[in-house]
Amino acid sequence: MSRKRICDCAVEVLRETDNPAVGYGDSGLLHLIAERAGLPHECWKTEDRVLNALSKTPGSLVPRHFRARRGIARVFYLPGEES
């Protein structure tokens, strides 16, 4: 059985939860995406894995950055929601 791409899982979760984007600090969404993709839960490592996977293969998501408390952070928007 092949695992779904994380970017595809992210799009599904964002649409189901009516969220325009997911990024650094969105722990709940990141864990939902990981669960949908079949990844194990390991606290903050899970969140990093999802964000790293989206950075490599964003699929239809639109990658952007924003200034966070600890520097520049990643965020991924559904198409048309990035404004």
Rounded distance, CA 75 to CA 83, Å?
12
What pLDDT shows up at residue 60? Answer: 96
**Does residue 72 have a pLDDT over 70?**
yes
Q: How far is CA 68 from the centre of its chain?
A: 16
What pLDDT shows up at residue 82? Answer: 77
CA-based diameter of the chain, in Å?
40
What pLDDT shows up at residue 35? Answer: 95
**Does residue 1 have a pLDDT over 80?**
no
Rounded distance, CA 44 to CA 17, Å?
21
* Residue 39 CB neighbour total at 10 angstroms: 18
What pLDDT shows up at residue 2? Answer: 58
Q: What pTM was estimated for this model as a whole?
A: 0.91
What is the tens place of the pLDDT at every residue in 4-55? 899 999 999 999 999 999 999 999 999 999 999 999 888 889 999 999 999 9
